[in-house]
Chains A and B, each alone.
Chain A
Amino acid sequence: MAVASRRGFRRSSLHHVGFFQPRQPAFWLYVVIVVATGVVALGEQSFYRNISASGWALSWLLLALYALPVFLVVYFLDLYEREPLSLVAAALVWGAVAATTLSAIGNLGWGLTVARVGGPEFAARWTAALTAPFVEETLKGCGVVLIYLIARDEIDDVMDGFVYGAVCGLGFAIVEDVFYFMSVFGGQPAGVLQGFFLRVIASGLYSHVLYTGLVGMAIGVVVSRRATEPLGRRLWIAAGLCALAVFGHFLWNSPLLDFFPAEPWTGADWLMVPVATAVKGLPLLAFVGIAVWLARRREQRWLQASLSPEVGLDGISAEELQVLASPKRRRAARAQMRRRAGSRASSLLHRLQREQVNLAMVASRVPDDHDPALMRQREYCRSLRDALQAIPGAAPAQTASGDG
């Protein structure tokens, strides 16, 4: 039966929820922590600006050039349901402000513990590996959990967890990089460029975006697969993903597999640096790539399972489903529509596609095929299609792009 097959891919949200949720206690915890840590973070940035205003400005400029495309790639990885920007921004701010400030304190405290247990020589080599992966992944992960608690229905798939986690990690990476550029690489423009080469060009693909993306996936598994996986199995999967994130971070910070050339670097040494970072980071990047690919495949299966029973009814045709399943085909259909019938028709087709994704969400949450909400959504899609076909030139183009 259609409903039974859909329930395996049960998703909960239809209407997006924004960040501003004053009735949620998690919202206030988030606000209090971000404001409190924000004061510290602003003081730190002011301190860096005083060290070298030009170096500080260059740091932010270079990091913006890195962060913007990474943000867009992560944001658009979610095939069908873009996350509310206010929540994504909240994840970014948590990573940049709260997680970095709290991690600085936490790393210091646990670093003292490592030194107490292992002694100063051991601590000098291993503290970064034994503290930061646990402290930072925990604190960044807490931000994703808070986002979930603020808007529970928004993390309804593993990919959603990845998006929030990766963006949180991106925020963390940006502020941490500013710290390194200004404090470790001297803060002057030449030092900032050197830091940018080492930490972004040579290492930017392997950093916090991956680690916290995995932690976010773990949270996504726990909170979104209630219908298909028992709690124990979800927790095991989540624990495995978190352990992998921590291990990847540990390996990055540890003296193991250290193929960096001896300093000072000259000539070919600079070419060896990306090789050295790839040895440590590439395996995790490959794993995350596969995990994201699998999560996207799961989203595609969810869409097919949810909408296949709808084909032939008012909401969607077989051809439309074929186009809808592929972001590339969706974009191509809209571009073709724009050429044939203008931007208004293209915009309307975009809206139809979005509502057909919403149709999948309604179909996967209602108890039967005759639920009033489902019938209303079918009718709404049909009315959008009718309006589209009424635009001169739209109907043939739509047929050509897959609409029957």
Chain B
Amino acid sequence: MTSAPRPVRPDEAAWLQRREHAWLPVFAVLAVIVLTTVGGFVVAAALAQPAGPPVGFPGLVEVQPLSGWEPADPGSVDGRPFVQLTRGNGTLLVLDWGASPGDADVLARTVVDEALTPSFSQLTVSDRLEPVVLADGTPGARFTFVGVDPESGGSIEGEVTAVVDPSGRGVVFVGLGPEGSLAFIDGDIHTMIDQAEVT
């Protein structure tokens, strides 16, 4: 059943008469829905401007920090050097793994055995490796983990992205944060990793 248009009474005051534009309010509702649904991504992307000089290892990888992320002291894990960017209690480590034992999948599994297992207790690693491709076309493998930091006793969650450069050297990106906080920085971390230049 369809509704017939309501006839306008001749005695009806002009301000009471409804001009029922069919399309205008529909477009307005659509615009509100689109703005509400995807507007946050646009604003977040606009706020995530590159800031400061790139960090990394010359000739291997360079990562451009987004605004709010600052370089912190470099260090090493099991003799493998890393640089790091921090934002609050969120951290992105970039490790020069040296010669990779295989492709990105193999490297990712090696990271679990040689870097995460010795560093965390009660380590839980996601079941599957997620394939990723950086903006420059470099393929990689990604997984998440949760573990307890033996020093602080705090529960840490993280995400590892392993890539291998054309010469066979491995680069490992590790996003870290206290459990429950990673979801709020993984957008930035993914952006910085995606834009990293692996040479």
- Chain A residues with a Cβ under 8 A of chain B: 12, 17-18, 20-26, 29, 33, 102, 105-117, 119-124, 127, 131, 134-135, 138-139, 142, 145-146, 149, 151-153, 226-227, 367
Name the 5 nearest CB pairs between A and B, nearest first.
A109-B40, A110-B40, A112-B44, A123-B184, A109-B41
Residue of B nearest to A152 (CB): B20
Q: How far is the CB of A371 from chain B (nearest CB, A)?
A: 10
Residue of A nearest to B26 (CB): A25
Asked if B167 is an interface residue, CB under 8 A from chain A, the answer is no
Stretch in contact with the other chain, from B29-37, B95-103, B127-135: B29-37
Known: A105-B38, A109-B39. A115 touches B187 (CB 8 A): yes
Given the complex of chains A and B, what is the CA–CA distance between A149 and B18 in angstroms? Answer: 13
Q: How far is the CB of B131 from chain A (nearest CB, A)?
A: 20
In the complex, the answer to whether B41 meets A138 with C-beta atoms within 8 Å is no
Q: How far is the CB of A185 from chain B (nearest CB, A)?
A: 16
Residue of B nearest to A365 (CB): B9
Among residues 1 to 32 in chain B, which have CB atoms less than 8 Å away from a CB atom of chain A?
A: 1-3, 6, 9, 11, 15-16, 18, 20, 22-23, 25-26, 29-30, 32
Q: For A119, what are the chain B residues with a Cβ–Cβ distance below 8 Å?
A: 68, 87-88, 90
In the complex, the answer to whether B29 meets A17 with C-beta atoms within 8 Å is no
In the complex, the answer to whether B33 meets A139 with C-beta atoms within 8 Å is yes
Residue of B nearest to A127 (CB): B184
Residue of A nearest to B44 (CB): A112
Main secondary structure of the interface of A (DSSP, over half): helix
Can you list 22 pairs linking A and B with CB atoms under 8 Å apart?
A17-B3, A22-B2, A109-B39, A109-B40, A109-B44, A115-B184, A115-B188, A116-B44, A116-B47, A116-B67, A116-B68, A120-B88, A120-B177, A123-B184, A124-B181, A124-B184, A138-B32, A139-B33, A142-B32, A152-B18, A153-B3, A226-B15
Interface centre among A115, A123, A139, A153 (most CB of B within 10 A): A115
Given the complex of chains A and B, what is the CA–CA distance between A117 and B29 in angstroms? Answer: 28
Q: For B6, what are the chain A residues with a Cβ–Cβ distance below 8 Å?
A: 12, 153
Partner of A227, one of B16, B25, B183, B188: B16
The interface size of chain B toward A, counting residues with CB under 8 Å, comes to: 43
In the complex, the answer to whether B88 meets A102 with C-beta atoms within 8 Å is no
Residue of B nearest to A104 (CB): B37
Q: How far is the CB of B162 from chain A (nearest CB, A)?
A: 23
Asked if B185 is an interface residue, CB under 8 A from chain A, the answer is yes
In the complex, the answer to whether A106 meets B36 with C-beta atoms within 8 Å is yes
Partner of A151, one of B3, B33, B37, B42: B3
Residue of B nearest to A227 (CB): B16
Asked if B111 is an interface residue, CB under 8 A from chain A, the answer is no
Q: For B89, what are the chain A residues with a Cβ–Cβ distance below 8 Å?
A: 120-121
Partner of A106, one of B9, B29, B37: B37
Among residues 133 to 179 in chain B, which have CB atoms less than 8 Å away from a CB atom of chain A?
A: 177
In the complex, the answer to whether B3 meets A120 with C-beta atoms within 8 Å is no
Given the complex of chains A and B, what is the CA–CA distance between A151 and B6 in angstroms? Answer: 12
In the complex, the answer to whether B184 meets A111 with C-beta atoms within 8 Å is yes
Given the complex of chains A and B, what is the CA–CA distance between A111 and B88 in angstroms? Answer: 16
In the complex, the answer to whether A109 meets B37 with C-beta atoms within 8 Å is yes
In the complex, the answer to whether A109 meets B38 with C-beta atoms within 8 Å is yes
Given the complex of chains A and B, what is the CA–CA distance between A106 and B32 in angstroms? Answer: 12
In the complex, the answer to whether A142 meets B33 with C-beta atoms within 8 Å is yes
Given the complex of chains A and B, what is the CA–CA distance between A115 and B32 in angstroms? Answer: 23
Q: How far is the CB of A134 from chain B (nearest CB, A)?
A: 8
Q: For B181, what are the chain A residues with a Cβ–Cβ distance below 8 Å?
A: 120-121, 123-124
Q: For A153, what are the chain B residues with a Cβ–Cβ distance below 8 Å?
A: 3, 6
In the complex, the answer to whether A21 meets B3 with C-beta atoms within 8 Å is yes
Extra contacts, 19 of them, besides A119-B88, A149-B26, A227-B16 (Cβ < 8 A), are A25-B22, A29-B29, A106-B37, A109-B39, A110-B40, A112-B44, A112-B187, A113-B40, A116-B47, A119-B68, A119-B87, A120-B181, A121-B89, A124-B180, A124-B184, A134-B36, A135-B36, A135-B37, A226-B15
Given the complex of chains A and B, what is the CA–CA distance between A378 and B158 in angstroms? Answer: 74
Q: For A367, what are the chain B residues with a Cβ–Cβ distance below 8 Å?
A: 9, 11
In the complex, the answer to whether B36 meets A113 with C-beta atoms within 8 Å is no
Asked if B48 is an interface residue, CB under 8 A from chain A, the answer is yes
Q: For A145, what are the chain B residues with a Cβ–Cβ distance below 8 Å?
A: 25, 29
Given the complex of chains A and B, what is the CA–CA distance between A236 and B95 in angstroms? Answer: 57
Q: For B44, what are the chain A residues with a Cβ–Cβ distance below 8 Å?
A: 109, 112-113, 115-116
Q: How far is the CB of B73 from chain A (nearest CB, A)?
A: 20
Q: For B1, what are the chain A residues with a Cβ–Cβ distance below 8 Å?
A: 17-18, 20
